[in-house]
Structures are given as structure tokens and as C-alpha cells.
Amino acid sequence: MIIGLDVHKDWVYVTRMEKDGEITEQYEMKNAEESWNKFVGKYLLEMPEIALEASTSGKYVARILRNAGFSVYIADPKKLALIFKSSKKNDKSDSEKLAKLLRLNEFPEAYLPSREYEEMRTITRHRKYLGEEIVRIKNKVHSILSLNGIKIKATDIFGKKGLRELSKSIEKLSYSEKIVINDMLTRIIDIKERIEKSENEMAKIGKDREDVKKLMTIPGINIYISTGIIGEIGDIQRFRNKESLASYAGLVPRQDQSGKNDRKGHITKEGPSLLRYLLILAAHTVIKYSKKMNNKYHSLVRRIGKNRAIVAIARILAETIFIMLKKNVNFEDEITPLTEKKVKKMIERAELVVGEINIKESIKLISSKRFRLLSNKPFS
């Protein structure tokens, strides 16, 4: 027996299909804990295979049902051609098609990471978001300075040299611009503290994981990049070879083959964008420390230019990581003292994570009278 679920935020459409394709049951139910408890009780003895589409609500449902012992298959939305190209699209037909695809062994299954890998993904994506916030603030500060003809020669405006130059230029700004700059500096302090805490949490996750430590043998890969890459890859055993991992990261070229013509274009950029971002980030550093990677990079630069060369190094790095995780070996050009330093720092940072996360206190603070007045009546 197969069950197709068309999952939405508040409700779900259910189609029960027998192995011969006969539809024996269709109904709508609420997407709520009580409803899922009844669903599990109803079908637990029959143990049907369950098909649903990947979405935020879909992943939530998939976890509930997998924890209950069901065989759950989650579909890649981009590949559900039978659903998205059909002129007849509704919840009933969608749940039918999901069940049908699974019955015919044509189900375009997507990867659903375990809870541990999902936690690694969540904290890494938040860390990336914080980094992007800092970039936005820097751009805002640069904009104000440019309006006043002030140029900061330092590479990092919030580095020691940059801040010294900024301090000397403050008097050229208007009163309101000083208020904004001061607010930006305060926000930078807050964000950097949150980045520190996020990376401490990564250290707590990674200190007991050999795969995270293995990636840290690569110069240029720290706890942030290592945790992020492992979280996005998941179980390395799900990849057939190094090429399949590079393809999953979207770092292989598009191919247009017709007859004797075989044209290759830009990279596909399919798969997790965060994985691709982290590999490219690591590539910029690894070429500075690894002689082999440096030679390869400069050879590529002469043929295809710097930007495409660094993307090519990111692909080589992805393939190298596959081999390292599969064969349980360290990076070929490992700098042992650097690796030992990084691992030691990770263990130290892991010990800084203490206490419970008190979300209730944050909610209480935001809902306080002072905050309500500020948010609801800003000009009264």
C-alpha cells in the first residue's frame, strides 16, 4: 500500500493507493499533532510507503512519520514534472500523482537529512546570515563616508587600521550621520558576539565528529566551513563517486550534446548554494597554503581567468573531500601544526557553550511595555 500526501501549512490531502494502482481512500485532514497521532494509529499495522513533496511543512511531516517507523519518500519539487506541468492541478490530483510516481518507481526522491545534519545546516546558515549582515552594515557606512568624500584605504573598514582612519574622519560628518555610524558600530559589536556564539555551538557539534576534524586538515577550512560542508553533504555514502558530489554541489559545467557536438557551458549551480559558497570560500585560502592546489590554480588562470579558475579549484576541493571522507584520510598537503592548532581551538570553544537557551526571557523582554510602546507608537 502507498499513501500520497499533499502537505500544506494547515491541512493535508491524503490518497491511499493499492499496489495495483486502485485508489481506495481519499480525504482531507488537519496538519496538527493530534491528527498525525490518529494517522499513525490508523496505518501503523499496515505500514504503507508514504510519498510527499519537499517543503518546510513536508519535512516536518516526514520526520513525524519516519520517527513512527514508516517508510517515507520525499520528492524534489523541481523534478515533479507530472505535477507542475499538468493542466489539472489540485490537492486531490497532486496526492494521487505522488502515490502513482512512487508505485511506478519513478519518484524523484530528494535527500532528507537526519536531525543531526539538519542542526549543522541550521547553525551554519545562521552564521552565514550574520556575516551577510556585517557586509550590509559595512556598505551602509561606506555610503555615508562616500557622501562626505571620505575614503578609507584599509581593506576592512572595521579592522584596526580601518577604525583608526574612521576615527580621524568622524568630525567631517553631520550630527545625524554620527548617530547612524554609532548605531552601525554598536550593531557590529552585537553581531560579532553572536557570530562567536554560533561558532562555539559549531565547535560543540564538531569536537566529537571525525568527519569535521578530517576536513579541518585542509588549510583554509575552519570550524565554520567544516561544519557547514559536512551538514550540507550529509552521509558521504549516498554519493557514488567524486563526480556525483561535485555535481550535487552544482560545480560541474552544463553540457549540450547533439550528434558529434559536445558543448560545455557555465556551472549548473544546482544543489545547495551554501555548499557551493563554502567550497569557493575555502578555495580562496587553500591555494595559498597547498603547493599542489596553487600550481593547479595558476595553470588554470592562464587558460580561463581568475574567477573561473577559483570555481574549478572549488570543484577539485569537493572531489578531494569525497576521497578523504570515503577513505578516511587527511588532506595530502596538510600542515600538521596548523591542524592541531585548529582542533585544539575547537575543543576550547566547545567548552564555552554553557547553560540553556532561554527563549522565554527574550519573548518576555520583547513583549514588555517599554518595547510595545517603541514598536507601536514610534511618533506619538
Tell me the one-letter amino acid at 168: K
Q: What is the DSSP letter of 292?
A: H
Q: Which parts of the chain fold into alpha helices (H)?
A: 33-43, 56-67, 81-84, 91-103, 115-147, 160-169, 175-206, 210-215, 223-233, 242-248, 273-289, 291-304, 306-327, 336-350, 359-366, 369-376
Q: What is the DSSP letter of 305?
A: -
Residue 261 confidence (pLDDT) = 52
- Strands 2-7 and 11-17 come out as antiparallel
State how far the Cα of 160 lies from the Cα of 50, in Å rounded to an integer: 57
Residue 371 confidence (pLDDT) = 59
Cell readout for 359 is 527563549
* pTM (two decimals): 0.84
Residue 34 confidence (pLDDT) = 95
State how far the Cα of 260 lies from the Cα of 258, in Å rounded to an integer: 6
Residue 379 confidence (pLDDT) = 47
Contacts of 54 (CB under 8 A, 6+ apart): 74, 75, 76, 77, 110, 112
Residue 279 confidence (pLDDT) = 97
- Comparing C-alpha atoms, which of 238, 221, 240 is closest to residue 282? 221
Q: Are 311 and 284 in contact (CB under 8 A)?
A: no
- Comparing C-alpha atoms, which of 89, 60, 83, 88 is closest to residue 72? 60
Q: Along the chain (380 residues), what's the average pLDDT of each consecutive run of 10 residues?
A: 94 95 95 95 93 91 92 88 58 88 91 90 96 94 93 86 90 94 94 95 95 96 96 94 95 68 71 94 96 96 95 97 97 96 96 80 73 53
